Structure 1
Amino acid sequence: MLAEGENMLKTYEMLKQDLTAYKALDMKIKRMADRREVIKLKKNLYETGSTVSGYLEAAAICTPSYLSFDYALSCHGLIPERAKINTSATCRKRKKKPSGTGSVHIYQDIPLSFFPFEIEICCENERPCLMATPEKAVCDKLCTVKPIRSRKHLQQLLFDD
Protein backbone atom coordinates (compact mmCIF):
# COMPACT_ATOMS: atom_id res chain seq x y z
CA MET A 1 0.00 0.00 0.00
CA LEU A 2 1.05 3.62 -0.44
CA ALA A 3 2.85 5.20 2.48
CA GLU A 4 0.64 7.51 4.55
CA GLY A 5 1.29 11.19 3.89
CA GLU A 6 3.34 10.46 0.76
CA ASN A 7 2.34 13.08 -1.81
CA MET A 8 4.05 12.79 -5.14
CA LEU A 9 3.63 12.23 -8.83
CA LYS A 10 3.80 8.59 -9.85
CA THR A 11 3.61 6.76 -13.12
CA TYR A 12 1.36 3.77 -13.59
CA GLU A 13 4.40 1.48 -13.32
CA MET A 14 5.45 3.06 -10.01
CA LEU A 15 1.94 2.51 -8.61
CA LYS A 16 2.03 -1.13 -9.71
CA GLN A 17 5.32 -1.61 -7.84
CA ASP A 18 3.79 -0.07 -4.69
CA LEU A 19 0.79 -2.40 -4.90
CA THR A 20 2.45 -5.77 -5.53
CA ALA A 21 0.46 -7.36 -2.70
CA TYR A 22 -2.69 -7.14 -4.84
CA LYS A 23 -3.54 -9.53 -7.66
CA ALA A 24 -5.83 -7.32 -9.77
CA LEU A 25 -3.60 -4.24 -9.93
CA ASP A 26 -5.54 -2.44 -12.66
CA MET A 27 -8.77 -2.81 -10.69
CA LYS A 28 -7.08 -1.67 -7.47
CA ILE A 29 -5.70 1.46 -9.16
CA LYS A 30 -9.11 2.19 -10.71
CA ARG A 31 -10.81 1.85 -7.29
CA MET A 32 -8.17 4.09 -5.71
CA ALA A 33 -8.82 6.72 -8.39
CA ASP A 34 -12.60 6.43 -7.86
CA ARG A 35 -12.11 6.99 -4.10
CA ARG A 36 -9.65 9.85 -4.85
CA GLU A 37 -6.81 8.07 -3.05
CA VAL A 38 -4.84 8.76 -6.22
CA ILE A 39 -5.66 11.43 -8.79
CA LYS A 40 -5.24 10.67 -12.47
CA LEU A 41 -3.58 13.66 -14.15
CA LYS A 42 -3.22 12.09 -17.59
CA LYS A 43 -2.70 8.64 -19.07
CA ASN A 44 -0.14 6.77 -16.93
CA LEU A 45 0.43 9.71 -14.54
CA TYR A 46 -1.09 9.91 -11.07
CA GLU A 47 -0.78 12.11 -8.02
CA THR A 48 -0.83 10.34 -4.66
CA GLY A 49 -2.05 13.36 -2.70
CA SER A 50 -3.45 16.81 -3.27
CA THR A 51 -0.49 18.75 -1.90
CA VAL A 52 1.85 18.47 -4.88
CA SER A 53 2.51 21.99 -6.18
CA GLY A 54 0.56 22.95 -9.26
CA TYR A 55 3.70 23.98 -11.07
CA LEU A 56 5.17 20.50 -10.62
CA GLU A 57 1.96 19.07 -12.08
CA ALA A 58 2.17 21.51 -15.00
CA ALA A 59 5.67 20.36 -15.90
CA ALA A 60 4.69 16.69 -15.74
CA ILE A 61 1.43 16.94 -17.68
CA CYS A 62 2.83 18.50 -20.85
CA THR A 63 6.41 18.01 -21.97
CA PRO A 64 8.42 19.70 -23.20
CA SER A 65 7.29 22.81 -21.32
CA TYR A 66 8.52 25.33 -18.79
CA LEU A 67 6.73 27.80 -16.52
CA SER A 68 6.54 31.26 -18.03
CA PHE A 69 4.19 34.15 -18.85
CA ASP A 70 2.15 35.50 -15.90
CA TYR A 71 3.17 32.69 -13.54
CA ALA A 72 6.91 33.32 -13.95
CA LEU A 73 6.44 37.10 -13.99
CA SER A 74 4.62 36.80 -10.65
CA CYS A 75 7.27 34.49 -9.15
CA HIS A 76 10.02 36.90 -10.20
CA GLY A 77 8.14 39.88 -8.72
CA LEU A 78 7.66 41.64 -12.05
CA ILE A 79 3.88 41.93 -11.71
CA PRO A 80 2.07 42.73 -8.46
CA GLU A 81 -0.61 40.07 -8.87
CA ARG A 82 -0.18 36.50 -7.64
CA ALA A 83 -0.73 34.09 -10.52
CA LYS A 84 -3.38 31.50 -9.70
CA ILE A 85 -3.10 29.69 -13.01
CA ASN A 86 0.05 27.82 -13.98
CA THR A 87 1.05 29.23 -17.36
CA SER A 88 3.67 27.33 -19.31
CA ALA A 89 5.40 27.75 -22.64
CA THR A 90 5.52 24.81 -25.01
CA CYS A 91 6.40 24.16 -28.62
CA ARG A 92 3.34 21.94 -28.97
CA LYS A 93 -0.33 22.69 -29.34
CA ARG A 94 -1.83 25.48 -27.24
CA LYS A 95 -4.21 24.07 -24.64
CA LYS A 96 -5.91 24.61 -21.31
CA LYS A 97 -5.91 21.61 -18.99
CA PRO A 98 -7.71 21.43 -15.64
CA SER A 99 -6.17 18.83 -13.35
CA GLY A 100 -7.95 16.49 -10.97
CA THR A 101 -6.59 18.50 -8.02
CA GLY A 102 -8.33 21.76 -8.97
CA SER A 103 -5.33 23.46 -10.55
CA VAL A 104 -5.63 24.89 -14.05
CA HIS A 105 -2.70 24.69 -16.43
CA ILE A 106 -2.46 26.80 -19.59
CA TYR A 107 0.11 25.94 -22.24
CA GLN A 108 0.96 28.60 -24.81
CA ASP A 109 2.88 28.00 -28.01
CA ILE A 110 6.09 29.89 -28.61
CA PRO A 111 8.31 29.55 -31.66
CA LEU A 112 10.57 26.50 -31.47
CA SER A 113 13.64 28.65 -32.12
CA PHE A 114 12.92 30.64 -28.88
CA PHE A 115 12.13 27.62 -26.75
CA PRO A 116 15.43 26.37 -25.29
CA PHE A 117 16.99 29.67 -24.14
CA GLU A 118 17.07 31.39 -20.72
CA ILE A 119 15.38 28.66 -18.71
CA GLU A 120 16.39 27.90 -15.13
CA ILE A 121 15.84 24.84 -12.98
CA CYS A 122 13.91 25.34 -9.76
CA CYS A 123 13.32 22.61 -7.20
CA GLU A 124 10.80 21.74 -4.51
CA ASN A 125 11.45 18.73 -2.30
CA GLU A 126 14.12 17.59 -4.75
CA ARG A 127 11.60 17.65 -7.63
CA PRO A 128 12.99 19.82 -10.43
CA CYS A 129 10.98 21.85 -12.89
CA LEU A 130 11.87 24.44 -15.48
CA MET A 131 11.03 28.16 -15.27
CA ALA A 132 11.78 31.07 -17.54
CA THR A 133 14.23 33.70 -16.30
CA PRO A 134 12.63 37.12 -15.71
CA GLU A 135 13.82 38.38 -19.10
CA LYS A 136 12.60 35.26 -20.91
CA ALA A 137 9.18 35.49 -19.23
CA VAL A 138 8.80 39.07 -20.51
CA CYS A 139 9.85 38.01 -24.03
CA ASP A 140 7.45 35.03 -23.96
CA LYS A 141 4.62 37.32 -22.85
CA LEU A 142 5.43 39.73 -25.69
CA CYS A 143 5.16 36.81 -28.15
CA THR A 144 1.50 36.41 -27.20
CA VAL A 145 0.31 40.01 -27.64
CA LYS A 146 -0.72 41.80 -30.82
CA PRO A 147 2.15 43.27 -32.84
CA ILE A 148 3.44 46.49 -31.31
CA ARG A 149 3.40 49.32 -33.82
CA SER A 150 4.94 52.17 -31.84
CA ARG A 151 7.24 52.97 -28.95
CA LYS A 152 4.30 54.56 -27.09
CA HIS A 153 2.29 51.34 -27.38
CA LEU A 154 5.27 49.34 -26.04
CA GLN A 155 5.58 51.75 -23.09
CA GLN A 156 1.87 51.38 -22.32
CA LEU A 157 2.11 47.62 -22.49
CA LEU A 158 5.16 47.37 -20.23
CA PHE A 159 4.29 50.02 -17.63
CA ASP A 160 0.52 50.48 -17.61
CA ASP A 161 -0.78 47.00 -18.39
Structure 2
Amino acid sequence: MKGGPEIPATSQLSESPQGEYSLRESRPPELPVKLSEASPTTNDLPGAAETPRSIFSYWAEQNPRSESLDKDYLIKHWRGELSLPVSFWLNAWLLQAFFVVAMRVLAGLMPPAVMLGLVILAMAIAVWGWVGVWRSATRVMKQEKRYFWPIVACSVVVLVALSWVFSFIA
Protein backbone atom coordinates (compact mmCIF):
# COMPACT_ATOMS: atom_id res chain seq x y z
CA MET A 1 0.00 0.00 0.00
CA LYS A 2 1.58 3.28 -1.01
CA GLY A 3 1.44 6.25 1.33
CA GLY A 4 2.01 4.42 4.60
CA PRO A 5 2.02 1.13 6.41
CA GLU A 6 -0.64 -1.38 5.54
CA ILE A 7 -3.45 -1.64 8.05
CA PRO A 8 -4.20 -5.24 8.92
CA ALA A 9 -7.57 -6.67 8.02
CA THR A 10 -9.90 -7.87 10.73
CA SER A 11 -12.12 -10.92 10.55
CA GLN A 12 -15.82 -10.72 11.25
CA LEU A 13 -18.38 -13.46 11.60
CA SER A 14 -21.47 -12.74 9.52
CA GLU A 15 -24.76 -14.56 9.09
CA SER A 16 -26.40 -14.93 5.70
CA PRO A 17 -30.20 -14.72 5.23
CA GLN A 18 -30.29 -18.54 4.97
CA GLY A 19 -28.82 -18.88 8.47
CA GLU A 20 -25.31 -19.86 7.38
CA TYR A 21 -22.33 -18.32 9.07
CA SER A 22 -19.23 -17.20 7.20
CA LEU A 23 -15.99 -15.49 8.08
CA ARG A 24 -15.19 -12.33 6.10
CA GLU A 25 -12.33 -9.89 6.20
CA SER A 26 -12.89 -6.17 6.54
CA ARG A 27 -10.58 -3.20 6.49
CA PRO A 28 -11.08 0.19 8.07
CA PRO A 29 -12.13 2.92 5.62
CA GLU A 30 -9.40 4.79 3.80
CA LEU A 31 -8.50 8.22 5.16
CA PRO A 32 -9.12 11.12 2.76
CA VAL A 33 -5.50 12.22 3.25
CA LYS A 34 -2.67 9.79 3.64
CA LEU A 35 -0.78 10.24 6.87
CA SER A 36 2.48 10.68 4.99
CA GLU A 37 0.96 13.52 2.93
CA ALA A 38 -0.31 15.35 6.00
CA SER A 39 3.01 15.36 7.84
CA PRO A 40 4.82 18.70 7.83
CA THR A 41 7.83 17.58 5.79
CA THR A 42 8.85 18.25 2.24
CA ASN A 43 11.03 16.56 -0.28
CA ASP A 44 11.48 19.39 -2.80
CA LEU A 45 15.16 18.87 -3.55
CA PRO A 46 16.09 15.84 -5.61
CA GLY A 47 17.89 13.25 -3.53
CA ALA A 48 17.32 15.16 -0.30
CA ALA A 49 16.06 13.44 2.79
CA GLU A 50 12.79 14.68 4.18
CA THR A 51 13.40 18.03 5.84
CA PRO A 52 11.03 19.74 8.25
CA ARG A 53 9.05 22.72 7.00
CA SER A 54 8.08 25.72 9.03
CA ILE A 55 4.86 25.52 10.96
CA PHE A 56 3.54 28.56 9.07
CA SER A 57 4.04 27.02 5.62
CA TYR A 58 2.31 23.83 6.74
CA TRP A 59 -0.58 25.83 8.22
CA ALA A 60 -0.82 27.98 5.07
CA GLU A 61 -1.15 24.87 2.89
CA GLN A 62 -3.88 23.50 5.13
CA ASN A 63 -5.73 26.87 5.12
CA PRO A 64 -5.81 28.24 1.57
CA ARG A 65 -7.31 31.59 2.69
CA SER A 66 -4.21 32.28 4.81
CA GLU A 67 -2.28 34.65 2.60
CA SER A 68 0.43 36.85 3.96
CA LEU A 69 -0.64 39.55 6.35
CA ASP A 70 0.61 42.30 4.04
CA LYS A 71 -1.51 41.14 1.12
CA ASP A 72 -4.54 40.72 3.37
CA TYR A 73 -4.09 44.25 4.71
CA LEU A 74 -3.75 45.78 1.25
CA ILE A 75 -6.78 43.91 -0.02
CA LYS A 76 -8.87 44.66 3.07
CA HIS A 77 -8.17 48.37 2.65
CA TRP A 78 -8.96 48.24 -1.08
CA ARG A 79 -12.28 46.50 -0.37
CA GLY A 80 -13.17 48.97 2.42
CA GLU A 81 -13.12 46.30 5.12
CA LEU A 82 -10.86 48.29 7.47
CA SER A 83 -12.31 50.84 9.86
CA LEU A 84 -12.87 54.33 8.53
CA PRO A 85 -10.33 56.00 10.87
CA VAL A 86 -7.59 53.53 9.91
CA SER A 87 -8.40 53.88 6.22
CA PHE A 88 -8.57 57.66 6.35
CA TRP A 89 -5.76 58.67 8.73
CA LEU A 90 -3.24 55.88 8.35
CA ASN A 91 -3.61 54.56 4.81
CA ALA A 92 -4.67 57.68 2.98
CA TRP A 93 -3.15 60.66 4.80
CA LEU A 94 -0.08 59.44 6.65
CA LEU A 95 1.16 57.36 3.73
CA GLN A 96 0.53 60.14 1.21
CA ALA A 97 2.19 62.72 3.46
CA PHE A 98 5.25 60.49 3.67
CA PHE A 99 5.49 60.28 -0.12
CA VAL A 100 4.98 64.02 -0.59
CA VAL A 101 7.77 64.81 1.89
CA ALA A 102 10.05 62.17 0.36
CA MET A 103 9.52 63.56 -3.14
CA ARG A 104 10.23 67.13 -1.99
CA VAL A 105 13.44 66.01 -0.27
CA LEU A 106 14.61 63.87 -3.19
CA ALA A 107 13.51 66.30 -5.94
CA GLY A 108 16.96 67.74 -6.57
CA LEU A 109 18.92 64.58 -5.83
CA MET A 110 17.34 62.11 -8.23
CA PRO A 111 17.37 61.98 -12.03
CA PRO A 112 14.10 62.92 -13.73
CA ALA A 113 13.30 59.31 -14.68
CA VAL A 114 13.48 58.19 -11.04
CA MET A 115 11.34 61.13 -9.95
CA LEU A 116 8.77 60.23 -12.61
CA GLY A 117 8.70 56.70 -11.21
CA LEU A 118 8.20 58.06 -7.69
CA VAL A 119 5.38 60.33 -8.88
CA ILE A 120 3.65 57.37 -10.56
CA LEU A 121 4.09 55.27 -7.40
CA ALA A 122 2.72 58.12 -5.26
CA MET A 123 -0.29 58.43 -7.56
CA ALA A 124 -0.98 54.69 -7.38
CA ILE A 125 -0.77 54.76 -3.58
CA ALA A 126 -3.02 57.82 -3.48
CA VAL A 127 -5.65 56.12 -5.63
CA TRP A 128 -5.41 52.99 -3.45
CA GLY A 129 -5.88 55.18 -0.36
CA TRP A 130 -8.80 57.12 -1.80
CA VAL A 131 -10.62 54.01 -3.00
CA GLY A 132 -10.20 52.32 0.39
CA VAL A 133 -11.49 55.39 2.25
CA TRP A 134 -14.45 55.72 -0.13
CA ARG A 135 -15.42 52.06 0.21
CA SER A 136 -14.94 52.08 3.97
CA ALA A 137 -17.13 55.17 4.24
CA THR A 138 -19.90 53.66 2.12
CA ARG A 139 -19.70 50.46 4.19
CA VAL A 140 -20.12 52.48 7.41
CA MET A 141 -23.11 54.30 5.92
CA LYS A 142 -24.80 51.08 4.78
CA GLN A 143 -24.05 48.80 7.74
CA GLU A 144 -23.77 51.12 10.72
CA LYS A 145 -26.19 53.81 9.52
CA ARG A 146 -23.77 56.58 10.52
CA TYR A 147 -23.47 59.39 8.02
CA PHE A 148 -21.53 62.43 9.28
CA TRP A 149 -17.91 61.15 9.25
CA PRO A 150 -18.32 59.02 6.14
CA ILE A 151 -19.67 62.01 4.21
CA VAL A 152 -16.83 64.19 5.52
CA ALA A 153 -14.28 61.54 4.49
CA CYS A 154 -15.75 61.17 0.99
CA SER A 155 -15.86 64.96 0.57
CA VAL A 156 -12.19 65.27 1.55
CA VAL A 157 -11.27 62.48 -0.88
CA VAL A 158 -13.06 64.30 -3.71
CA LEU A 159 -11.42 67.65 -2.85
CA VAL A 160 -7.92 66.15 -2.62
CA ALA A 161 -8.37 64.20 -5.86
CA LEU A 162 -9.48 67.39 -7.62
CA SER A 163 -6.51 69.31 -6.19
CA TRP A 164 -4.13 66.61 -7.51
CA VAL A 165 -5.73 66.79 -10.95
CA PHE A 166 -5.49 70.60 -11.07
CA SER A 167 -1.89 70.59 -9.78
CA PHE A 168 -0.82 68.20 -12.55
CA ILE A 169 -2.65 70.23 -15.19
CA ALA A 170 -1.03 73.50 -14.08
Q: Could you say whether these structures have the same fold, taking a TM-score greater than 0.5 normalized by the shorter chain as the test?
A: no
Asked which structure has the greater CA Rg, the reply is 2
With normalisation by structure 1, the TM-score equals 0.28
Which structure has the highest strand share of the two? 1
With normalisation by structure 2, the TM-score equals 0.27
Which structure has the highest helix share of the two? 2
